[in-house]
Structure 1
């Protein structure tokens, strides 16, 4: 087995040799948007790093696992107001995922796990994976890393500390970044999440949402209007490389175990 983990680094002859019916393909996805004034905008960087660790761990379990080039642009949502951000429409993202799965399936590469790092991608992922189950009998599952991480942080930090750090611009992504690529974070620029934020006189309840009479009501509100510094909920001051390391280890264990126990077996039965 080659030491290369990334599909992009394989030669065509290596691809013919190693990308066979036993190979598992990981597809990292993310976005390019405001992640807080201190953090790189590309959260797909974190998704790819976790995917590579999962691939290493899965290979240690005897499963030939490779990482596809990441999809760096997320499906468009309320983060369109991010200066310098790039998003693609939901139909475009759906078509892109569809085309990638079609290319892999054409060559018998049907053991696929999506490693997702952006909430705006979930709808497109669900649409395409439902389609491929019906048309090809393929079961393509997705690990939404940060959603999983919110629960893991409660175990790693304890519920109270996790509540203080968890949120957009805080954990998990800031700690993941401090673990994998600390040199490109600017913690000196960090901003705490806003307090008492208003939108047209109404209390803000989160991204694209306000509070009214105890209810959370969603609407066409831009992220810049609810969280001007990209942070909401968690304060990045509580994030650390140690937390990122512990979190990445848990995500890697979960991903590699799922590959070993289910994806590599083709979900028999």
Structure 2
């Protein structure tokens, strides 16, 4: 299933036969003391499960560096500027289209990638007339937290959904003893921090340029990551695989 592990004639044969191409994306940034910096590893693992479920799918090597956001400057992390990431994703999509791929699906595992992906999608559609959908893994999974049995206390950066998914897919890279309640955040401009890039006054959120350590000290914004569970991660992955295979099937019908 991995394009990187197949000879070129076999890849060409499968693409000519209508196989879809998955483009997994993530980042290399902090997720706190309990979980690996390379969340792109989770995007790749999910992509492989989707390929197994769908059957007629190839998986591109994972894009490991994400767009710059609140966690730029983390030791060991690499963040790309929006212009660089937009150009990279655009070139990848155009190259796949030029190579004959009719169905291209992006699997995005980093919020900072979203603006660049959206711009690359528009360029591909306007330039080549091709629509390449994207599944934002954690943005989607966050909305299922209660439905799938996750705790509201674990939801947030350095916690769920990445925490439980990491415990499910890569427990060898996790440090469960480091999953702990978050320390209270100090006020910003004398007001409570209400989210990434927001503070609250009179019940209304105002956008401000907060840095990562000001909203997620040590890379953790979740109230209590100790509630992350591998079983919850398994339910999240199953739902993501189900959704992606449904999209691939719909794309086949529209091709």
Q: TM-score range by the shorter chain?
A: over 0.9
Question: Normalising to structure 2: TM-score of the pair?
Answer: 0.94
Shift of 1:128: 0.9
Q: What SS is found at the alignment partner of 1:264?
A: helix
Shift of 1:49: 0.8
Shift of 1:197: 2.7
What's the C-alpha RMSD, in Å, of the aligned pairs?
1.5
2:83 and 2:185 mapped to 1: Cα distance? 36
User: In the alignment, what sits opposite 2:61?
Assistant: 69
User: In the alignment, what sits opposite 2:165?
Assistant: 176
Q: What SS is found at the alignment partner of 1:248?
A: helix
Unaligned runs of 5+ in 1: none
CA contact 2:185–2:215 (8 Å) conserved in 1: no
Write the deviation string for residues 179-220 of structure 1: whole angstroms up to 9, x where unpaired.
111011112222323324323433212222222232211222
Q: What SS is found at the alignment partner of 2:159?
A: coil
User: In the alignment, what sits opposite 1:253?
Assistant: 242
CA contact 1:194–1:227 (8 Å) conserved in 2: no
Question: Normalising to structure 1: TM-score of the pair?
Answer: 0.90
User: In the alignment, what sits opposite 1:48?
Assistant: 44
User: In the alignment, what sits opposite 1:152?
Assistant: 144
- What does residue range 1-269 of structure 1 map to in structure 2 within 5 Å? 5-20=1-16, 22-59=18-55, 64-157=56-149, 161-260=150-249, 262-265=250-253, 267=254
1:231 and 1:24 mapped to 2: Cα distance? 36
CA contact 1:111–1:140 (8 Å) conserved in 2: yes
CA contact 1:36–1:230 (8 Å) conserved in 2: yes
CA contact 1:208–1:223 (8 Å) conserved in 2: no
